[in-house]
Amino acid sequence: MIRKAEFVISNSNPGNCPKPDRAEIAFIGRSNVGKSSLINMLTNKKGLAKTSQTPGKTQLINHFLINDQWYLVDLPGYGFAKVNVKVKEGWENMIKTYLTKRENLCGVFILIDSRLEPQKIDLEFLLWCGVNGVPAALIFTKADKLSKTKTEQNVRKFLKKTEEIFEEAPDYFVTSAENQMGKDEVNAFLEELVREYENGAAE
């Protein structure tokens, strides 16, 4: 259960992130997929992470402290943000540096828009995580938008694609920030990741 969530710091330089002295879990995905909305849903705090209808709202690495215990991180989106190429490359570098260098990172959730057929950019990002040893799980977002059947179809198609990349399909969750679907399941998984990290650190 998330009882307490507070903003800590925003950074453009991964080197300036808080001291890596506790478990950390990050959220990433295409611009506008619903990362910030999901974080607000999971933490029961509407305005915690800034959301917007315009893609490209989150532009920095944002650290939130959860239950005075672990960090949750909201990252900028990859993909169709309306910013120029140089800025986009800058973000990509920042994100990739963060994901590969952050020593306390226990996991990354890649958010996927459940309304869409499998997107190349998401599969490529998932593959990049695999190649770089970044432990990734999937969260399908906006499940309130389509019928259950259609959502399930898209989820299945995406998972099938991942089987072409990995032997084992990644962990996945189907969610809606609108109606709280998937909240308990995702929160339980977050807790599990934090517990594993803390047990590992104690050894």
Ligand X SMILES: Nc1nc2c(ncn2[C@@H]2O[C@H](COP(=O)(O)OP(=O)(O)OP(=O)(O)O)[C@@H](O)[C@H]2O)c(=O)[nH]1
142 binds, among ligand X, Mg ion, none (CB under 5 to 8 A by kind): ligand X
CB 109 within 8 A of CB 136: yes
Quick one: tokens of 66?
């959860």
Place of tokens 């709280």: 180
33 binds, among ligand X, Mg ion, none (CB under 5 to 8 A by kind): ligand X
Nearer to ligand X (CB atom), residue 33 or residue 48: 33
CB of 18 vs ligand X, minimal distance in Å: 20
Rounded to 5 degrees, what are φ and ψ at 185? -65, -45
Q: Specify the 3-state DSSP secondary structure of 170.
A: coil
CB of 29 vs ligand X, minimal distance in Å: 6
| Alpha carbons 186 and 141: distance in angstroms, whole number | 12
CB of 31 vs ligand X, minimal distance in Å: 4
Nearer to ligand X (CB atom), residue 2 or residue 22: 2
CA atoms within 13 A on the CB side of 82: 4
Nearer to ligand X (CB atom), residue 111 or residue 129: 111
Q: Which residues bind ligand X (CB under 6 A)?
A: 29, 31-37, 51-53, 55-58, 76-77, 141-142, 144-145, 176-178
Nearer to ligand X (CB atom), residue 22 or residue 77: 77
Footprint of Mg ion on residues 24-53 (CB under 5 A)? 35-36
Asked whether position 162 contacts Mg ion by CB under 5 A, the answer is no
Sequence-separated (6 or more) residues with CB below 8 Å from residue 63: 7, 8, 9, 10, 11, 17, 18, 71, 72, 73
